[in-house]
């Protein structure tokens, strides 16, 4: 079981990238994560623990109180039985497998789970769904990823009577950067928010108090940390049960 019964600062695991990296005189593969994720967890009252996509062992969740599946590159289409699109050019199958193991284990243990951007896509694929590999072909515009390294802004409409609505009300505006999105939604995954063009922006796993994925990047808006604050609050709430 996860360690949520004790009184330590909530320990929030965050999945990381494994990428060719340059620092100082070194050029090597390294596990890395944008600092904004770390700052968001700390600002919300948690302590971040990095989970690199090597040496995967789901028992690591036993020392965690919550799990964040971070954003990143495209999910490998072969993991959901699709032929790669010409725009699907940057995949990390090893990371996909790593995160799928952690997602399944977190759901099995009912560990509070927040899946961000690619994380929502991995949540859907892990549960048996598929992805739209190049969103502009489906919606007719590039507003979800307007320019390289430039976040877009998306207005999101939220379904009532959902965790998403309790956090954000009936609508919100978010930072986004993605060219893929959910296509066939997995069994047991409930869509709770969409963009105006129909793109799935949030989904929750049935039967769990806090297993939520969002297509946007909440870590990129330090003025709105409601998702991270809610994740830490859920950990603390469970300690009082």
**Start-to-end Cα distance in the chain:** 15
Is residue 73 among the annotated active site residues? no
Rg (CA), the chain: 17
* Cα distances (angstroms) measured from residue 32 to each of 19, 20, 36, 156, 202: 7, 10, 12, 30, 25
Contacts of 98 (CB under 8 A, 6+ apart): 15, 51, 53, 54, 56
Question: Are 49 and 102 in contact, with CB atoms under 8 Å apart?
Answer: no
Kindly name the residue from 117, 144, 176, 204 that is annotated as catalytic. 117
Rounded CA separation 102/100 (Å): 5
Is residue 204 among the annotated active site residues? no
Q: What are phi and psi of 101, to 5 degrees?
A: -60, -45
Is residue 141 among the annotated active site residues? no
Kindly name the residue from 98, 144, 178, 217 that is annotated as catalytic. 217
Kindly name the residue from 99, 201, 219, 234 that is annotated as catalytic. 219
Taking alpha carbons only, the member of 200, 209, 33, 27 closest to residue 120 is 200
Question: Are 31 and 98 in contact, with CB atoms under 8 Å apart?
Answer: no
Residues listed for the chain: 241
Q: Which residues are catalytic?
A: 117, 217, 219
């Amino acid at each position: 079981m996860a360690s949520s019964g004790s009184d330590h600062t909530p320990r929030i695991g965050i999945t990381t990238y494994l990428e060719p990296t340059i620092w100082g005189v070194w050029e090597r593969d390294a596990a890395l994560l944008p600092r904004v994720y770390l700052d968001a967890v700390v600002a919300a009252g948690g302590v971040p623990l990095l989970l690199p996509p090597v040496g995967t062992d789901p028992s690591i969740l036993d020392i965690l109180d919550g799990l964040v599946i971070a954003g990143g590159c495209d999910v490998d289409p072969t993991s959901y039985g699709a032929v790669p699109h010409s725009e699907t050019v940057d995949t990390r199958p090893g990371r996909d497998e790593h995160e799928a193991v952690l997602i399944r284990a977190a759901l099995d243990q009912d560990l509070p789970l927040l899946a961000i951007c690619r994380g929502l896509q991995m949540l859907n694929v892990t549960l048996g769904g598929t992805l739209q590999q190049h969103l502009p072909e489906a919606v007719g515009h590039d507003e979800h990823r307007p320019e390289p390294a430039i976040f877009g802004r998306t207005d999101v409409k939220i379904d009532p009577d959902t965790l998403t609505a309790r956090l954000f009300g009936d609508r919100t505006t978010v930072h986004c950067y993605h060219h893929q999105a959910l296509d066939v939604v997995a069994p047991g995954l409930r869509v709770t928010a969409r963009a105006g063009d129909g793109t799935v922006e949030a989904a929750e796993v049935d039967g769990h108090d806090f297993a939520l994925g969002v297509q946007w990047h909440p870590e990129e808006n330090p003025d709105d940390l409601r998702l991270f604050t809610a994740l830490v609050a859920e950990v603390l709430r469970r300690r009082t049960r």
